[in-house]
């Protein structure tokens, strides 16, 4: 076995996250907790409820956007996330 094989194997084991990625609500999680549990450990996470209190969600209605941008055309892209 070559040294590079050992390194690749160890690195692969360290980065292996399996197939399940946890879904957690951002509500009640502090930035420090988020950093300690996920960022510092390089762990993936689907974070829900992260933008629930953003003012834009309250004012960005079809009517509001039409009053602000009128007939401006834009290209949109959509992705389906499962």
Which is nearest to 37 in space by CA: 27, 24, 48?
24
8 A C-beta contact, residue 23 and residue 48: yes
* Residue 11: half-sphere exposure toward Cβ, Cα within 13 Å: 6
pLDDT at position 16 is: 57
pTM of structure: 0.48
Domain ranges of the chain: 3-69
pLDDT at position 18 is: 64
pLDDT digits (tens, 9 = 90+) for 19-77: 789 999 999 899 999 999 999 999 999 999 988 888 888 888 888 888 988 888 888 88
Structure-block tokens of residue 40? 């510092």
């Amino acid at each position: 076995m070559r040294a590079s094989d050992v390194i690749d194997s160890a690195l692969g084991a360290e980065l292996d996250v399996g197939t399940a990625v946890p879904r957690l609500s951002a509500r009640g999680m502090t930035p420090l907790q988020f950093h300690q549990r996920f960022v510092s450990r390089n762990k993936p996470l689907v974070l829900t409820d992260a933008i629930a209190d953003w003012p834009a969600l309250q004012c960005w209605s079809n009517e509001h956007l039409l009053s602000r941008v009128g007939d401006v055309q834009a290209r949109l892209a959509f992705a389906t996330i499962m």
